[in-house]
Chains A and B, each alone.
Chain A
Amino acid sequence: MTKKVMTATAAISNAVKLAKPDVIPVYPITPMTTVAEYIADYVANGELDTEYIRVESEHSAMSAAIGASSTGVRTYTATSSQGLMYMHEVLFAAAGMRAPIVMGEANRSISSPLCILNDQQDSIAQRDSGWMQFYAKDGQEALDLTLTAFKVAENENILLPAMVCIDGFIITHTNEIVDVPEQEEVDRFLPPYVPKYSYLDPEKPVTVGSFTDSRYYMDARYAVEVAMNKSVEVIEDALKDFKDIFGREHDLIETYKCEDADIIFIGLGSVCSTVKVLVDEMREKGEKVGMLRIVSYRPFPSEKINEAIKNASKIAVMEKDISFGMGGALYQDLKTTVEGKEIIDFVIGLGGRDITPSAIYEVLERTKNPTKIINWIGVEEVD
């Protein structure tokens, strides 16, 4: 293992190089551009033997990825924001066609107004596409989850695409110390992808991406549901292997001081790092608080979440997305899976608005003394 200081996009690019995808169609977009650039450099310098396709749009990036994956090869791409929105239609096709593509995704706000800074509306808007979604808190976790995503996506019982999300700028452009694993270790963790089922081969002609009707459509969709549910244990197994080989431990959720907490903050990505620091500070002031970070948003680890929050009475959901008038997606998911807790939703940090300690103290205060369920932090709300 080599420890180096690098940005999260460099860490992700290192993971991609180590995973050795056969095909990488990619279209640059802020703040994920450097992934396209790092990979281009690897190819230009002979460090990575891959078919790098300089596509003319994100829609074509995902379409080319589906075409490539349909031939049974390891396939990667990366995008963000408007690019992800442009892919929207074909994301569903990728999942329905059971193409185990892995994609890096830098969370960035959605136009309009046009804004290149962070929130998570872009990937949350793809929630129902059938993709697995992992949210990393830093470059190291993004590297580790990228390798894990390939292993899970390509598992013959799963065969679903996976996106590894990191907060744009907040994480993508932050330099941190990253352990870059050795190729030999990665090869042990992630052997070459050998497709088991149908793929495009003139020796064994099959038809992929059929037309169908009501006799078969729903069954195909249900098969995605079954695979998504099954993926929880496959991810757990993959993370066990990961720990055995690389020594680092990951889980579908991260918890901090939840055991005896009365109020638990729940969120995705980098906001939880801020909360974690404040949990200690709040506890010094006598507040019984904890933090739960959801690493795997799809599949949604309901059991683990319920177990972790069983002793709390209140949940403060902090999220960087909104379904207007109805709160954020995570709030709705938690309302579906959690019983007997008071859940209060906080829309926070949209378009890169700073999430300061005082903002999180406001969340705490409004959780202790709630006046409404859906709260916007950092704007003057209209009653």
Chain B
Amino acid sequence: MDFPKEELLAPGHRGCAGCGAALAVRLALKQAGKNTVVITATGCLEVMTTPYPETAWEVPFVHVAFENAGAVASGVERALKAQGKEDVNVIAFGGDGGSVDIGLQSISGAMERGHNLTYICYDNEAYMNTGIQRSGATPWGASTTTSPSGSISYGEDKPKKNMPMIMAAHGIPYIATASISYPEDYMNKVKKAIETKGPAYIHLSQPCTTGWGFDPSKTIEVGRLSVETGFWPLYEIENGEFKVTYRPTERKPVVEYLKSQKRFKHLGEEQVQTIQDYVDNQCDEFGI
């Protein structure tokens, strides 16, 4: 795959060393190119890239609030249409908090109305910008500052909300899961998403060095483990056709993924087995 050399997210932004969100944007923009308008929800990405009077964005960018990226993108898309600029790619980025929780209604509205836009949820499985509070996307057993592990707690006590399937229920033409650790798979999906006439949604695994507790040099490795263990399945749903886009040749035990991060370090054998069972069921369902 040819990766354009040009960077449309300039270096020097305030992302942490090893930040997966920056990588998520860089790769997407390499695929989308300059003829793009980006909308973001409030969150790490927005805060680290737009400290006035600086900006890391080499494409037009707009941010309004936390919960409304879907609606702002809807307005941008239709305003560009009104100006005959229908060829411009409209890409919205939101974290899991801004997408799965507080922004769900706004995204649902945008998807249902059929806007020609791509929404990429960069999911790091908690509110990282404000210091690792749980979100609806936090997986069972993860310790966060609002679902801490303790003498009578294993951390988050509810399974992760299944956002891609909620999007699928909207009957939109393109939905995919992806991981920054599989750039070719991700970029292919971004290409399909922006070429889709109508709404497209990508749910992207974005390991967070700070929130998950791993060395900044391990971002890609941790992301790979999530896929190789079956914890994070890679699939797409194109015009209703479900397809797994990557199958690990031999699924690794989920403990290898869990032990790579501090947020799971409190889990004992029994809890690890609970997660392994969950992952096994998920993989059976998806044929992985």
Contacts and interface: CB of A to CB of B under 8 A. Distances in A.
Contacts of A59: 67-68, 71, 106
Contacts of B88: 202
A57 B105 contact: yes
Nearest to A25: B75
Nearest to A89: B65
A127 interface: no
A51 B105 contact: no
Given A53-B113, A56-B109, A90-B68, A202 B59 contact: yes
B210 interface: no
Contacts of B47: 211
Contacts of A55: 71, 74, 109, 113
A213 B68 CA distance: 22
A207 interface: yes
B105 A64 contact: no
B75 A67 contact: yes
B261 interface: no
Contacts of B81: 51
Interface string B66-101: 011011111110111111000010000000000000
A69 B80 CA distance: 10
B125 interface: no
A90 B75 CA distance: 14
A60 B106 contact: yes
A53 B62 contact: no
Contacts of A69: 75, 79
B242 to A, nearest CB: 27
Interface string A196-218: 00001110111111111100100
Instruction: Give the contact-size bracket for chain B.
Output: 35 or more
B79 A23 contact: yes
Interface centre among B37, B46, B108, B112 (most CB of A within 10 A): B37
Nearest to B51: A211
A73 B39 CA distance: 17
B31 interface: no
Nearest to A67: B75
B266 interface: no
A97 interface: yes
A69 B78 CA distance: 11
A140 interface: no
A73 B83 CA distance: 8
A368 interface: no
Nearest to B106: A60
Interface centre among A59, A63, A69 (most CB of B within 10 A): A63
A102 interface: no
Nearest to B39: A67
Contact of B79 (A60, A67, A205, A210): A67
Contact of A22 (B51, B73, B83, B105): B83
A25 B74 contact: yes
A201 B64 CA distance: 17
B35 interface: yes
B60 interface: yes
A111 interface: no
Contact of A202 (B35, B50, B62, B68): B35
A93 interface: yes
Contacts of B71: 25, 55, 59-61, 63-64, 67
A73 B60 contact: no
Interface string B166-187: 0000000000000000000000
B46 A211 contact: yes
Contacts of A211: 46-47, 50-52, 63
A156 to B, nearest CB: 19
A65 B82 CA distance: 13
A206 B61 CA distance: 6
A212 B51 contact: yes
Contacts of A60: 68, 70-71, 74, 105-106, 109
Nearest to A198: B60
B262 to A, nearest CB: 28
Given A23-B82, A90-B68, A211-B51, A201 B74 contact: no
A243 interface: no
A50 interface: yes
Contacts of A68: 75-76, 78-79, 82
Contacts of B74: 25, 53, 55, 60, 64, 67
Given A55-B109, A59-B71, A202-B88, A73 B79 contact: yes
Given A63-B72, A207-B55, A56 B82 contact: no
A230 interface: no
Interface string A37-76: 0000000000000110111110111011111111101010
A210 B50 contact: yes
A54 B113 CA distance: 8
B4 interface: no
Interface centre among A56, A57, A67, A211 (most CB of B within 10 A): A67
Interface string A87-110: 001100100010000000000000
Nearest to A200: B60
B58 interface: yes
B78 A200 contact: no
Contacts of A209: 50, 61-64
9 contacts: A25-B78, A51-B81, A60-B106, A70-B62, A200-B60, A200-B62, A207-B50, A210-B55, A216-B53
Interface of A: 22-23, 25, 50-51, 53-57, 59-61, 63-71, 73, 75, 89-90, 93, 97, 200-202, 204-213, 216
Interface of B: 34-37, 39, 46-47, 50-53, 55, 57-65, 67-68, 70-76, 78-83, 88, 105-106, 108-109, 112-113
Given A202-B37, A202-B60, 6 more contacts: A56-B109, A63-B72, A207-B60, A209-B61, A210-B52, A216-B53
